[in-house]
Structures are given as C-alpha cells and as structure tokens.
Amino acid sequence: MDKAKPLPSLLVQRYHGWRATSYMENKAWYRRLADEGQRPKTMIISCCDSRVHVTGIFGADQGEFFIHRNIANLVPPYLPDGQQHGTSAALEYAVTALKVAHVVVMGHSACGGVQGCLDMCSGRAPELEEKSSFVGRWMDLLRPGYERVKDLDGYDAQRAALEREAVLVSLENLMTFPFVASQVDAENLSLHGLWHDIGNGTVEQFLPAQNAFRPI
C-alpha cells in the first residue's frame, strides 16, 4: 500500500495530548479492558455526520457503547444471502456475541443522506437512481419511509418527517432479524428510536403509545 501518508502532525499532537491526559488517568482501566475484553451495555446506530457524535451527547465511557455509524443511521432488513452486509454484521456481533441490552437508533436534522433520498424519490436527483450510485442504492432502504411522507405538504415537512422515518424503518427492520426479535421477545434486549436536532441541541424519542416522537 504505497499510497499511505503520515498522519497530519496536528492529529499526532492531539493524540499525544489525549495519551498524556485521558489515557494516563485511566491506564489501569484501559489495560483491563484490553485484557478482559469489552462488555458494552448498549449498541448505538447513528449517522456518520461530523456534527453528531453520540460519544459526546451520551458521555461515552470506554467500553460502554458499541457504535456503528453509517449514512442516515439505517438498518437493512434481514437478508442472509451470503453477501456482505456491514450493518447486519455489526448488529449480529452486538446482539449475539456481546449480548448488549439496548440498541439505540439515532437520526438527526439536516441529514444529507435523508435529503438525498427525498430528492431521489421525488425526481429531483435522477443521478442517485443510477445503479452505480452507492449513496442512492443505500438510500433505497428508506423508500418505504418516503411512501409514508410523500403526501405531506411541502419539502421541509417531508424532509423532517423522513428523518424520523429513517429511525422507524430501521426499528422495523431490526425486528426482522431473528436474533433481535427473539431477544426482544425474551425481554433481554430493548430497542430505542431517537432523533436529534443539531441546531437546538434537543433529542426526541419515539413513544409507541403516542405513535410520535417526543422530547426527552
């Protein structure tokens, strides 16, 4: 791999700052985590977006959250076809090997992936329909959500609703995995749906009894 470059020196400097402080203060704990393995209580599925770091929002300690981040925090339906499914692999590992007690899906405002889906499904972004568009094909996962918001009045309303649908579709797809459904039914695992507003700093959670997202 002859193309790799040295890490930018600013990141090297910041790493040394981290090691001299956070690491040194918790050295014994890091060593123990290394020796004994992780035992996370919660898996979080959130977006790659650089403005939304769940480690900060939920004050992640080392060893606490198993975090998968992809475009638009989507979970595909269960499809054991022998192909590569990175999200499904992360989920399988978290639930069957690590036996997490919670899976949290967190969406957010101003999500570029969700906007791409809306534009694609409404005919505004035909380039995303192409077979070669990885973002387009990935966002196909959210088409069922689009069907439920397409009659709302106006682009902004559709977009806001579709961001929440990205969470709901993922929760629905989670339950198609046998190893998830069985653990949920056995009350060994609970699922949670959140939506985060970047600008306001608020978080809403989905409450089935109200069939709505409500501030936490």
Token pair, residue 108, equals 């957010």
Using the rule CB under 8 A, which residue among 123, 132, 153, 156 binds its own copies?
132
**DSSP output for 11-67:** HHHHHHHHIIIIIHHTHHHHHHHHHH----SEEEEEE--TT--HHHHTTPPTTTEEE
- Considering the complex, what minimum distance in angstroms separates the CB of residue 196 from its own copies? 9
Restricted to residues 156-185, the positions that interact with its own copies (CB under 8 A) are 168, 171-172, 175, 183-184
Q: Contact 66/44 with Cβ under 8 angstroms?
A: yes
Nearest CB to its own copies, comparing residues 161 and 193: 193
Per CB under 8 A, 61 contacts its own copies: yes
CA angle 205/211/216 to nearest 5° reads 20
> Tokens 């409500």 correspond to what residue?
214
| Only segment of 6-14, 117-125, 143-151, 152-160 that touches its own copies (CB under 8 A) | 6-14
C-beta closer to its own copies: residue 21 or 122: 21
Least distance between its own copies and beta carbon 154 (Å): 19
Among 107, 121, 138, 149, binds its own copies (CB under 8 A): 138
Binding string, residues 31-50; x marks residues near its own copies by CB under 8 A: xxxxxxxxxxxxx----xxx
3 state SS of 101: coil
Cβ distance 58 to 74 under 8 Å?
A: no
Site for its own copies in 87-106 (CB under 8 A): 87-94, 97, 99, 101-102, 104
**Largest pairwise CA distance in the chain:** 56
Interface residue with its own copies among 59, 123, 153, 156 (CB under 8 A) is 59
Q: How far is the CB of 158 from its own copies (least distance, A)?
A: 18
**Cβ atoms 138, 71 nearer than 8 A:** yes
Spell out where 149-211 has E strands: 190-197, 202-207
Q: How many amino acids of this chain bind its own copies (CB under 8 A)?
A: 127
Residue 120 interacts with its own copies (CB under 8 A)? Answer: no
